Structures are given as C-alpha cells and as structure tokens.
Amino acid sequence: MLKFGIFDHLDLGTAPASQLFKDRLSLLETYDRSGFHAYHLAEHHGTTLGVASSPGVFLAAAIQRTKRLRLGPLNYSVSLYHPLRLLEEICMLDHMSDGRLELGVGRGVSPFEVGYYGVDPTKTPVIFREVLDILRKGFANPTLSHEGEFFRFRDVPMILKPLQQPHPPIWYGISTPNSADWAAKNGLNVVSISRVPIVREIADKYRSAWKESGGAPEKMPFIGLSRHVVVGSTDGEAMEVARRAYRVWRESFVRLYKLHGTMPTVLPFPEEFDDAQKTGYTIAGSPATVRDWLKEQISGAGVTYFAAQLAFGTMTLGEARGSVELFAREVMPALQDLA
C-alpha cells in the first residue's frame, strides 16, 4: 500500500519567522490527525529556503504537538555536525517521540551552505559516508571506537541508545540513479524530487540491487517521490494560491545560487508555477485534477511513498490547512493501492 508523508523546507515567506514557526506547528496537528505517515524537515543555512537550521530543535517542539505522526530531518547535513553530538541528539529525539523518529542523513547538498561552515564541498561525500559509519557503530555498540580520515575516537561510552532497535529508519535524499545501488544495499529509504523518468530509473536500480543483496520484497524500504501540491475546491482557486506562493518559494530556492553568480542545474525549477507543473514538478487543482495527475506521476515513477510539499512560500495557515484536509480526504484514499 502506498504511504503518504509530508516534506517541508520550512521556507521563509513574507511572515516573520516567529509566526512561521507557530503556524507550522499548528499545521503539524492537522497532519497528525489526517493520517500521514511522517513529516520530513529539510535543513538549510544562510538562506530563506529553510529556517530550520537546527532541525532537532523544531522537531522537539513538533513531538509535543503530535501523537501518531512520525517525524525527522530530511536531511541532517551530517558534514556540519560532530558525530558524537549528532548521535546523542538522535537518541534523545527517538526517546522523546516514543520511537517516532525517521532519520534522514545527507552530505549537505548546497556547496555554499557547507562552505559557510568552513567545510570543503568536495570532501562532503567522503565525510558523509564516514559519519554514517560512525552513527551505525554508535547505535550498535556499548562504546564507540573509530579511526577514520576525519574523526578518531576510542572507547567513548554510548550511554543513550535509540528507542527503536537497532536504530530509527534511515532516509536518504537522492536526485540521480548513481547512488541507488548503494542506498539499497545499505537498507536506506530514499526520496527524490527529480522528474519522473529519473525517479523511475532510481526505483528500478534500487529494486534490482535490493533483490541482488538478498532483501525480502516485503521488507524493502520506501522508494519515494516528492512534489509541491496545492488542492482547492476548483482548479482556478488552487492555481491562484499556488502561483503566488511558488514565486516566493522558487526565489528562495535559487537565492544562494544567484548570490554566487550561478544557477542550479540538477533541479532546475522553472520561474513560474505553470511551467513547473508542465515539467512535472508541481500540481495545483481540484481533488479530481490532483488525483489524476498524481496517479500518473506515482505509477510512472514506480514508487511506494509520496511526500507532498503542502505548505510553502506565501501560503497562509488557512490556505495550507484547507489544502491538507482536501488532500487527505479526497486524494489519498483514491491512490493508496497504487504501490
């Protein structure tokens, strides 16, 4: 059965950050009672694209406002953390949430953001693999010893273990098929915002690698797709909200690239929502319009998980909540059997 989640940049629109945090925590209560599987929060630095620069702080608050919804970063930019500090935070959040943590990890996709921290962007892939290895050692052993290129520890006591054993589900954001084999062989859930043909290739490579590694089909991790979604009573109503909100979100998306005299090439989101919808990145419309569009996207991509970005840009709390409720009531039930 297809599962549904939420992906959130927590991008800064026109409201002050204090109001954004309050509104989003209120919206999380709607996600919680609407039957979503999990809430996935991005980490960004030095940009309006994401003001949850410490995802754990926001998630600690979100835990208190929800009862069933699983929550986690997607991703922790692990090249910016000391692994011992990160290990302890992960264990804290897993216990605080009564075992609802979903652990997303990545290298830090923006070279500008990791550069602000003095980290060489060319080294982040290697740092990421080493930190992931350290996390797994820390989860599994009473003491942690490690001799690596970037970190060295000897007999560090691992006092707090995750509540979920052997560890919380691990997620990895993926934009090209190059890492699909590695993700499958390491048992990682994956989610992508790439276009459908690329996601299909990711899904096919992932399934093949999972089978080759001896994984049972019923235990295969999620293969996910994420899209901006706005649902309204009519197509026109939804498009009016989406066009306005998307322009501000998209400006945040390219903000650091423009500041450094370049533009993103891997995920070239168009300037206007209509063009983004034509190229398959976004959808806005009535429940029937959104259902038909998503059915084609999900079936074409061959995924088992869909993470909707239902709040972004200048969307008000009322607009976002209305879209969420329509999506949960009239879209989700019709698509659950697609996986």
Whether 5 contacts 224, CB under 8 Å: yes
Nearest to 50 by CA among 113, 2, 136: 113
What is the Cα–Cα distance from 329 to 321, expressed in whole angstroms? 12
pLDDT at residue number 108: 85
At the fourth CATH level, the homologous superfamily of domain 3-74+170-335 is: Luciferase-like domain (3.20.20.30)
Looking at residue 264, its pLDDT comes to: 84
pLDDT digits (tens, 9 = 90+) for 55-80: 999 999 999 999 999 999 999 999 99
pLDDT at 30: 98
Asked if residue 121 has a cis previous peptide bond (ω within 30° of 0), the answer is no
Q: Is a pLDDT exceeding 90 seen at residue 268?
A: no
Q: What is the pLDDT of residues 236-261, one digit of tens each?
A: 999 999 999 999 999 999 999 999 99
pLDDT tens string 291-324: 999 999 999 999 999 999 999 999 999 999 999 9
Phi, psi for 223 (deg, rounded to 5) = -115, 115
What is the rounded distance in angstroms from the CA atom of residue 303 to the CA atom of residue 285?
A: 22
Burial class (CB in 10 A: 0-12, 13-18, 19+), 93: buried
pLDDT confidence bin for 267, thresholds 50/70/90: confident
Cα–Cα dist 313/285, whole Å: 17
Going from the C-alpha of 159 to that of each of 116, 138, 142, the distances in angstroms are 32, 10, 7
- pLDDT tens-digit map of 147-205: 999 999 999 999 999 999 999 999 999 999 999 999 999 999 999 999 999 999 999 99
